[in-house]
Structure formats: structure tokens, C-alpha cells
Amino acid sequence: MFQTFRNAWKIEDLRKRILFTLLILVVFRLGSAIPVPFVDAKALQAQLTSSGTIFGFFDLMSGGGFTDATLFALGVSPYINSSIIIQLLQVVFPSLERLSQEGEEGRQKLNRITRWTAVGLSVLLAVMYWLLAKRTDALVYTEGFAAVYSAIVIIATFAAGAMVLLWLGEQIDSKGIGNGVSLLIFTGIVSNMSRMIEMLVYYFQAAKTYPMYYALLPFVAILFAAMFVTIVATNAAERRIQVMYAKRVVGRKMYGGQNSYIPIKVNLSGVMPVIFASSLLSIPATIKDMFNIGGNWGTFLGWFGTSSWGYAALYALLIIAFNYFYVAIQYNPVQIANDLRKNSGTIPGIRPGQPTSQFISRVISKITIIGALFLVLIAVLPIVITKLTGIQIALGGTSILILVGVALEISQTLESYMLMRHHKGFLD
């Protein structure tokens, strides 16, 4: 991968794209350091960093900007959530599904709908942030006209920051390298890795008192290295279904007759099931902290905290369920079988039509369970390590999946650019 980056730097067009992307990422980090007026961030940090709440997820996506009440505190979470909502609504509303099948024009309409939905979600999240600041006495002004004015400024600033961040991501899409939203999330996670280094230093210092840490820390490091290798191998793994195309004679030319295959990736849904599951399970703990619920209800809601075995079990079950659901709405075996029939393609030993769709459905089902178990392993293993060893893992499974996935995506994008230009160093 490093050789790919070196070769890409030698191409002027790619070098400009890389520099532009880095410039946008620098702007993102600067915006994540500019505080929003009328908010006392220190009074909020204890609430926002509480275990198991959805605020931790927002803070991860924004690179620490959420806990510091900065301009880009909401990160790209409104756009991600709106994209998920629109994808799910395509299953419910046929009109949205038709838009997704109308080519470029339909996709542009869906993108506009997604953006407007993101605007609404960003305003909603900004209002939630203001209410939390009000409950924790983190607002500078709480009475009179000044309180109303500060509320408008806070909500508008947070919402505008989220939209500016979406625009920056789109600029990377058009003039930079890779997917803009993914790169912004990647940068936010990398910027939070300083906390992991601080935690490692803490445990090494604590090892003087607890010598067991000298053995546990290398063990944990080896496990995480194995996780990185597993993620890379699984992202590249795929099941190939062989396809044979019949020969056709059109005029004096013969078409078809070649063999091909349908690639089905082991991890079909990427990191989305993990994001779905973690977001859903964080809602009870968020409600408990937002409204300061105690008693029996508080005990029940606290059971959903990330430090319990029950949370780990529910987390695993939800990841498997969401993985199947996401694959079901993204891949249609009947449509694949119909496309093969239209192009005179057949799977060896399988009759066209319904038998083909059933065969593809069985293959996808088997691949889906393998991919789901892989996601469960990556997402739940840090929780298990924390429970067994007492070592708090600063870098969770979701973060690792995003980091490796985005890094591989950027590498593949650069390779595609260089392949189009027949770059000699790349072929070497």
C-alpha cells in the first residue's frame, strides 16, 4: 500500500488530488477546534463521555469535537443517519425504489432528498445538544432575551457546521481522492488515537503496581494485530459463482461464449450492521443520562451499558440480524437471475429462472452468516477483552473496521487511477 502511495505521488494529477484532500482534512480538524459560543464545554464533558451513550458514537465520528462543543461537533452523523433512513424507506415506499432505478437522474433526486433529511436531522441533533447543555448548566445565558438569542446561535451553528462538513465531503468526492464522508470519519478516528496512546502509557505505569499488565498488554497487542490481518483478508475474500454465456451470431460477428463469474463478497454489508446495532443499543443509556432516571428503571436502562455481558450478547444478536436485513435490501437474487437470463448467461448445472435465483439466494445466505460472525468477532472482542482483563480498550471494533476499510478503499482508488494511466511503477 505504501508503494502505491509513492507511485501515486509521482503523477501530477494525482498529487494535486491528494494535496486537495489533505487540505480539506486540515480544514476539518481546524473546525473541530473552533468552540461554539455561549457553551461551557468543560461542564458538558462529564455527561458526554459517559459510558454506553450515543454521545460517544458522535464524538468518535467528529474526532473529539462533540465533547468539546466545537463547530463540527455533529460530524457527518446527520448525513449518515439520513442515508440509512432513505435506504430503509426505499423498501417501504415504491416511489423511492423507482427513483433508485431511474439512472443518474433518479440518483440525483435521492441525493437531494437525503441532503434535506440530513438538514432536518442536524437541526434535531443541535436542539438535543442545546437541551443537554441546558440541563447540565453549561449555558452561559439562561434567562431573558440573551438566553433566546444564545439558543438560536448554538442550534444554528451546530446545524450549519454539519452542513459545511457535508459540503467538504462532496468536494473530496469531486476533486480529491476517495469517498469524502468516509475520509472525514477516518480522520476523526485517527485524531482520537492519541487517547489510546495515553491509555497505554497509563497501563505501563500501572504495571509497576500490577505486574500482570506486563503479560496482558503484549497479549492484547497481538490480538489487535490479528484483528487487523483478519479484517484485511475478509474484506478481500469473495465467493465467485461461475457463469457461462451462450454464443450468439449477429450478422457476421459472434458474441458471447466466454466464461465469467459473479463475485459475492464475504463482508457484503461492510460496517453498517455494527453502526446500526451500536446506535440502537446506545439509546437506553442515553435516555437514562439525558433525563437522570434512577430507581428500577435506571437499573434496567443501565443494563444496556457497554460494560455488561448482556450488552455484548444483544450486540452480537443485533449485528447478525442487521447484517441479514441489510444484505436483503441490497441484493435481489431474482433480479440477478433475470439479468443473467436476458444476457444468455447460465450457472453450470443450474437451470435458468427460479432455480438460479434459489441457488444464488442459498449462496448469499451462507456468505451472510460468515460475514455476520466476522463482524460479531471484531465488534464484541474488545468488550470481552475489557471484561476479562480489566483493560479499557480505547479503539473499538467499529473504529478498526472503518480505519482498515477506508485505508483499503483509498489504496484501491489510487491503483485504479494509476491503472488507467498505465503507470509503469505500479505495474512493476
Give the least confident one: 31-35, 108-112, 230-234, 374-378.
230-234
Identify whether the C-beta of residue 44 lies closer than 8 Å to the C-beta of residue 136. yes
Structure confidence by residue, pLDDT tens digits, 339-397: 888 877 888 888 888 888 999 999 998 898 998 998 888 888 888 877 777 666 655 66
Domain edges within the chain: 1-192
In this model, does residue 86 exceed pLDDT 70?
A: yes
Cα–Cα distance measured from residue 251 to residue 270, given in angstroms and rounded to the nearest whole number: 45
Mean pLDDT of 35-52: 73
Element (H, E) at 217: helix 212-236
pLDDT tens per residue, range 240-290:
888 888 766 666 666 556 778 888 888 888 777 887 787 777 777 777 766
Q: Is the pLDDT of residue 237 over 60?
A: yes
Distance between CA atoms of residues 140 and 147, nearest Å: 8
Alpha helices in 10-143 (DSSP H): 12-31, 41-48, 54-61, 77-92, 94-100, 103-135
Which CATH code of 1.25.40.10, 3.60.21.10, 1.10.3370.10, 3.30.530.20 fits the domain covering 1-192? 1.10.3370.10
- Measured CA to CA in angstroms, residue 407 lies from 56, 62, 133, 142, 175 at distances of 23, 18, 36, 45, 18
pLDDT at 234 over 50: yes
Contact 40, 132 (CB under 8 A): no
Contact criterion met (CB below 8 Å) for 389 and 199: no
Whole-number average pLDDT of the chain: 81
Predicted confidence at residue 206, as pLDDT, reads 67
- The proportion of the chain whose per-residue pLDDT surpasses 70, expressed as a percent, equals 84
Cβ neighbours, 10 Å, residue 269? 24
Binned at pLDDT 50, 70 and 90, residue 425 comes out as very low
| Of 386, 374, 224, nearest in space to 306 by CA | 386
Range of 102-106, 157-161, 325-329, 423-427 with top mean pLDDT: 157-161
Could you tell me if 195 and 399 are in contact, meaning their C-beta atoms sit under 8 angstroms apart? no
pLDDT mean over 150-175: 93
User: How confident is the model over 266-279, as pLDDT tens digits?
Assistant: 888 877 788 778 77
Which among 26-40, 96-110, 224-238, 390-404 has the top mean pLDDT? Answer: 26-40
Residue 239 forms beta bridges with which residues? Answer: 264
